[in-house]
Amino acid sequence: MRRFATIIGFVTAVCLVATRLPAETESVNVATGFRLLTEKSYLPGDFDQEAFDNVWQAWPKKLKAKAEKATPEERRAMAYDRYGLTTRPGDDSGRPLQYVVRPDGMWTMNCFSCHGGTVAGQVIPGLPNANFELETLTEEIRLTKLLMKKPLTRMDVGQLAVPLGTNRGLTNAIMFGVGLMAYRDKDLNIVPNRHPPMINHDVDPPPWWNYSRRPRIYIDGYAERGARGLMPFMMVPENGPDQFREWESDFEKIYDYIMSLEPPKYPFEIDEQLAVAGKVAFDANCAECHGTYGDDETYPGRIVPIDKIGTDPVRLTALTPENRKGYGESWFAHYGKQKTIHEPEGYQAPPLNGVWASAPYFHNGAVPTLWDVLNPSKRPDVWRRSSRPFDEENVGLSIDRLEKMPRKLLSKRARRHYFDTNRFGKSNAGHDYPDSLNAEEKRAVLEYLKTL
Ligand code: HEC
Ligand code: HEC
């Protein structure tokens, strides 16, 4: 407690000095932003430490037997691995990056559950969490709570009404937002449910390090960037309209933190000569949409009509013009002062900085590696996550390519490790632009993409 008070005292002191020094305010805000995300809980707790420590009791037999013999630390590592949680960089407390752990032992999901994870053995806050298994975690925590006779909470019950995510690393996040906004007017007062259509589908979060490069956000570029726009996730009934106004200053610091992030560097070897050749091919074939990198960085932010891009269309239509208008007219978008596009024509070409790290690719995560992005006709229709490390050859997730889904009955959790592109919202089609490159140029562009 004393240490906590000292830190608060220190931060306050620096803030006081910083009011006269704008550049320093920003760097203090960056540190405070990260601290708020990991230490302050903006939502009611999901489960307590005791439930998490016992979640192994809900595991399948073999794994449960292994957990039973393990030490508490080993058990925690097994649980983190199972649900896609990590420890915090530079913090040996063992607490997860993805949850706030309150002094009373309650765990509350934070933004890093989807926006922070591991790539090539490195924990990176701001990296899309390709391993998060919210659905499995929620199912197994609920079972543990029932075994331990603990009360159920929001997520345990909510999951029965809204699917959380059908693949490891992907979530139904867009519909969480639509569902929460259905209970709010433009001032964020709580109103009766307006029953918007719910078209459940999974999406892959984008990396936070490109937020600063992207004045219009989300895959369809419908919203403008801003601190209030970072807050919709908090719209649970417990948080009334005044709570949002009170927390806005916190989110200005979180905004500065997200704006400060830079992409991680490719940690393996790069063939520099091949990458130089790749830049030439990239600038001629890809830059008109994705921009240029290096000393002359540009980002056009082009929105490509859906029939031209040809990637999965569900995300574009599942969020309706009414949904976007409701957001645009609300407190989040400063009552229309920020420009919201109600009917975007398609998807916005994202910046590709750090793209080596953010597999799987496309907004629905249907394509496991950069090699597959570059070879549209060879993308696997069904693939399964493997436990092998980062795929350095194809640059992205290590997977097994399958002809079709196995006939044998799979458990719900095992099924989430298979990506079946035949399912609703899961198409891996489209974005055929790399077909204008020959095989040699594709190899070179793949090498160049590692350098961004
Ligand atoms: C359940 C998973 C999940 C959680 C939790 C979550 N996000 Fe996201 N976030 C997403 C997904 C998925 C997208 C992509 C949506 C799209 O483009 O349509 C996204 C997009 C974003 C973007 C837009 C980035 C860009 O370049 O377009 C920002 C910024 C963002 N989230 C911030 C936050 C903050 C801040 C929090 C916590 C208050 C948070 N998110 C919590 C899943 C999540
Ligand atoms: C006409 C515009 C356009 C051209 C040309 C284009 N792209 Fe794209 N690209 C897009 C759009 C739009 C997306 C987003 C598609 C989606 O997520 O559904 C995208 C997505 C990607 C992604 C996935 C990014 C991610 O984080 O998921 C990669 C990688 C990529 N493009 C590489 C390339 C390369 C390499 C070239 C040149 C051979 C190229 N693109 C040419 C518009 C374009």
For residue 276, report the distance from its CA to the centre of ligand 1, in Å. 34
Q: With beta carbons less than 8 A apart as the criterion, state whether 189 and 332 touch.
A: no
Beta-carbon count within 10 A of 313 CB: 17
CA of 205 to the centre of ligand 1 (A): 6
174 within ligand 2 shell (Cβ under 6 A): no
CA of 210 to the centre of ligand 1 (A): 12
Q: Is the pLDDT of residue 6 over 70?
A: no
Question: Residue 323 in contact with residue 199, Cβ under 8 Å?
Answer: no
The mean per-residue pLDDT over the stretch 131-140 comes to: 97
Q: Are 161 and 155 in contact (CB under 8 A)?
A: no
Atom 3 of ligand 2, nearest CA residue: 289
Pocket probe mutation, ligand 1, options 111, 172, 252, 299, max atoms within 8 Å of Cβ: 111
How far apart CA 419 and CA 385 sit, in angstroms, is 8
Q: What six digits make up the tokens of 293? A: 């990198």
pLDDT tier for residue 22 given thresholds of 50, 70 and 90: low
- Which ligand is in closest contact with the Cα of 222? 1
> Is 205 a pocket residue for ligand 1 (Cβ < 6 Å)?
yes
**Mean pLDDT of the chain, nearest integer:** 94
Instruction: Answer yes or no: is the C-beta of 211 below 6 A from any ligand 2 atom.
Output: no
Any ligand 1 atom below 6 A from CB of 350: no
Burial class (CB in 10 A: 0-12, 13-18, 19+), 184: buried
138 close to 107: Cβ distance less than 8 angstroms? no
Average pLDDT score over residue span 193-218: 96
Tokens of 78: 């097994």
d(CA 129, CA 126): 8
CA distances from 388 to 78, 123, 247, 359, 425 (A): 16, 17, 42, 14, 27
> Which among 119, 289, 317 is the best mutation to test ligand 2's pocket, defined by most ligand atoms within 8 Å of the CB?
289
* pLDDT attached to residue 7: 43
Kindly state if the Cβ of 373 falls inside 6 Å of ligand 2.
yes
CA distances (Å), 256 to each of 36, 198, 211, 315, in order? Answer: 12, 33, 11, 28
Answer yes or no: is the C-beta of 55 below 6 A from any ligand 2 atom.
Answer: no
pLDDT > 90 fraction of the chain, expressed in percent and rounded: 90
Going by C-beta distance under 8 Å and a sequence separation of 6 or more, which residues neighbour residue 215?
224, 225, 301
The CA 388 to ligand 1 mean position distance, Å, reads 27
**Contact 362/428 with Cβ under 8 angstroms?**
yes
Whose Cα sits closest to atom 6 in ligand 1?
A: 111
Predicted local confidence at residue 93, as pLDDT: 93
- Tokens 């079709």, located at residue: 404
- For 208-211, the CB contacts below 8 A with 24+ separation are 208/115, 208/125, 208/126, 208/127, 208/258, 208/261, 209/126, 209/261, 209/262, 209/263, 209/264, 209/353, 209/354, 210/263, 210/350, 210/351, 210/353, 210/354, 211/258, 211/259, 211/261
**For the segment 376-423, what is each residue's pLDDT rounded down to a tens digit?**
999 999 999 999 999 999 999 999 999 999 988 899 999 999 999 999
Nearest to 352 by CA among 278, 439, 277, 287: 287
Q: What pLDDT is stored for residue 255 in this prediction?
A: 97
Cα separations in angstroms, 448 against 297, 320, 343, 356: 15, 37, 34, 10
Interatomic CA distance for residues 72 and 94, integer angstroms: 11
Q: What is the mean pLDDT of residues 294-308?
A: 95
Q: Which amino acid is at 28?
A: V
Q: Is the pLDDT of residue 8 over 50?
A: no
CB of residue 172 inside a 6 A radius of ligand 1: no
Atom of ligand 1 at shortest range from CA of 211:
26
Q: Give the pLDDT score at 4.
A: 43
Question: Cα separation of 43 and 218, whole Å?
Answer: 23
Per-residue model confidence as pLDDT tens digits over 247-284: 999 999 999 999 999 999 999 999 999 999 999 999 99
The residue-averaged pLDDT of 78-88 equals 98
Contact between 365 and 169 under an 8 Å Cβ cutoff? The reply is yes
* CA contacts within 13 A on the Cβ side of 317: 9
Ligand 2: residue whose CA is nearest its atom 16: 362
Q: How far is the CA of 128 from the centre of ligand 1 (A)?
A: 9
pLDDT for res 451: 98
By most ligand atoms within 8 Å of CB, the mutation choice from 431, 441, 446 for ligand 2 is 431
Where is average pLDDT lowest: 6-20, 340-354, 364-378? 6-20
